[in-house]
Amino acid sequence: MTIERQPEPDLMNGEEQALAYAQADFSDPHENFIELFKQSFPGQTIDGDVLDLGCGPGDIIIRFAKHFPDSHMLAVDGADAMLALGQKAIEAAGLTNNITLQKAYLPTDAIAEKNYQAIISNSLLHHLQDPQVLWQTIKRYVKPGTRVFVMDLMRPRSESAAKDLVEEYSGNEPEILKHDFYHSLLAAYTVGEVEEQLEREALLEFSVKPVSDRHMIVIGTW
């Protein structure tokens, strides 16, 4: 038995909250995101359009653009506070030619239709009250051959297990970040729940896999 899911607000629009998130050290999980993407699609290069859903302050897309310098990233988020921090980070990284940010609140039809080689998303799913929104958005924008790679937290078995993870991975971070991490863990879905979400959208070629004590990935090619 796992504890019941406790939803959290979807957008991260508070300036203090966005800044704490942008300043946190996510280098391990975010570098792992890129590594797992490469391992999931071995030998396949990315040199075209990539869509990032729920990009936050841009750390993942900046890493992605550095690994795949011939790609062009469109990264969307519904929170102005996050997009402002993302724009600064992209400018500081000298990647304004590689990455475009757009304000978009999912579900939406306002994202440009392109031949996306990849659609990626990190840590958006657990924010959504209706998780089908993520899978329906992906279905809406994939083209034949689009590689889909989603990473998110997994809900722990108990509140005390969630507290242990917070101490282990963000013990030295500011209180606001620890608070958000704890509530994100409680808002996360389980592997079984994500499998059901995929079944509901008939995304049968997609698979779900736990990759750490707190993360799972969903991968598939359309």
Residue 127: count of CB within 10 angstroms of its CB: 22
In degrees and rounded to multiples of 5, residue 100 shows phi and psi of -115, 135
**Three-state DSSP state, 20:** helix
Closest chain position to ligand SAM (CB): 56
Is the Cβ of residue 127 or residue 214 nearer to ligand SAM in the bound state? 127
Min separation Cβ 190 and ligand SAM, Å: 18
152 is a site residue for ligand SAM (CB under 6 A): no
**Beta bridge mates, 153:** 215
Min separation Cβ 93 and ligand SAM, Å: 14
Min separation Cβ 43 and ligand SAM, Å: 26
56 is a site residue for ligand SAM (CB under 6 A): yes
In angstroms, the CA 194 to CA 2 distance is: 14
Residue among 158, 139, 161, 165 nearest 150 (CA): 139
**Beta bridge mates, 73:** 50, 99
Kindly identify the residues of this chain, within the stretch 85-144, that bind ligand SAM according to CB under 6 A: 105-106, 122-124, 127-128
59 is a site residue for ligand SAM (CB under 6 A): yes
Q: The sheet that has 72-77: what strands, in order across it? A: 99-103, 72-77, 49-53, 118-122, 147-153, 215-221, 207-210
Min separation Cβ 47 and ligand SAM, Å: 22
Interface segment toward ligand SAM; rule CB under 6 A; list 63-71, 76-84, 141-149, 208-216: 76-84
79 is a site residue for ligand SAM (CB under 6 A): yes
Q: Is the separation of the CB atoms in 148 and 218 below 8 Å?
A: yes
Interface segment toward ligand SAM; rule CB under 6 A; list 54-62, 154-162, 191-199, 203-211: 54-62
Calculate the dihedral angle through the C-alpha atoms of 91, 95, 98, 99, rounding to the nearest 10 degrees: -40
Min separation Cβ 112 and ligand SAM, Å: 15
The residue ranges that bind ligand SAM (CB under 6 A) are 10-12, 54-56, 59-60, 77-79, 82, 105-106, 122-124, 127-128
